Every structure is written in structure tokens, then in C-alpha cells.
Chains A and B, each alone.
Chain A
Amino acid sequence: MRKLNFFLFLRGIVAAIFIVSGTEKLLSPYENFLYVIQNYQILPYPWMEKMVALGFPWIEVTLGLFLLLGLWIRGTLLGLAGATASFIFIVSQAIIRNLPINSCGCFGDLVKVPLPVILTMDSLILVSIFLMSYNRTRILLLSLDRYFDQKS
């Protein structure tokens, strides 16, 4: 039972991180997140930067919500792993290239987090996602996926 609660707790924490991160960006002007993306100097075209600034927070909120509700868990975990791996790559390249970025901008205006700290956090999140992926039966407790599986 303790192991089950631990995985549910992990699911809740990771979901909350993505929901809060996405919501904070959506409630601020998108120009703030656009500026963050521009500072990382990773996308080659301005229209790509704008697309990510407008679209990515919605993806964060959606994946976070699906994880919280336990909906399409397999696909959600894959999506979250992809997003987190991308963050790790983007932040790492900024550190290696010594870009003048003081705070990652990951949580919008809520929290200012230096790059090395966010790299550590993202790595822990990725590990959590892998743990949940390998223990899917345990995280399916109190989930919509299980509800629908039982009904069908």
C-alpha cells in the first residue's frame, strides 16, 4: 500500500508541476515566454518561436491534467518524457554556450530558478516519469483509464 501511495504521490507532484508551469505562462502575456524562448537561441525562425510561445503552455497544462486524472496514461507519460527531455537539452545547451540567462523562465513569473537548479529538477522529473512508466499498474489506481478499462 505504501508503494502504491508513493506512485500516486509522484503522479500528483509531476502533474501539479506541469499544470502550474503551463497555467502561469498562460495567465501572463505570451510575449514574456516568447522572450524566454528567444534568449535560449535554439529555434531558427521567429515564427517557430512564436508558435512555441503560444502553443507549448497549452501542451503542458493538458499533459499535466491528463496525468492528474490518469487519462491516456501511456501516451501522457511519453509526452511528458519528451517535453522534459527537451527542457534538459535546451537548458544544457544554454549552460554549455554560456548564454546570458539568469533564470530559466520555466514557471513564468511565479518563481525565478537558475539554470543549474532547473537542470537538476528536470532530471528528477524525468526519473520520476520513467519510474511511473515502469510501474504503470501502480499509478493506474484512482485513474480514469482504470475506470474505463473496468467498464469495458
Chain B
Amino acid sequence: MRLTEFEELAEYAMLDVIKDQGVYIGKLKSKGKISILYQVEGFYVELTYIKYRHSIKNIRCFDSVEKIDCYIKQVDLEFLNQPFQ
């Protein structure tokens, strides 16, 4: 599915596509809102919630990897260096 095709879907259809095909990238918290980023085939979809996983404020779609930097920086890989206890 291409980005342009995805953008033409109704919101409920977008969420069904994300649920079936989306790959979770990360989560951001900012100004009391939570955003989740998914990769869907060759593009990204950001869901910003009024209430987490309940009421969606905004759905933003893009294919630029530069815009996902803030999500990638949140990923903490330090635990990989810790011995299993």
C-alpha cells in the first residue's frame, strides 16, 4: 500500500491497516499527549492521542526517516549490556 492510498482511507480503516500490518517503532510523550509511531510498509504513521490508545487527536503520515529521529533516540539499548540476574 502506498502512502497516498493510505491517506485516502477513513480513520477506522487506517487503524485496521496499522493493526494488521503496522510495526511499532516507539512512543513519545510531550505536553501531556502521547504519540505512537508505526511503520507501514514503506512509510510511517504517527498517532497522537488525547487519551492513550483511546481517543485519537491526530494521525500524521510521512515517509521521511528524518522525522523518526526523536522516536529512535528514545530507544534504550543499555539493558543489552546488563548481565542477566
B partners with A: no
State the B residues within 8 Å of A (CB). none
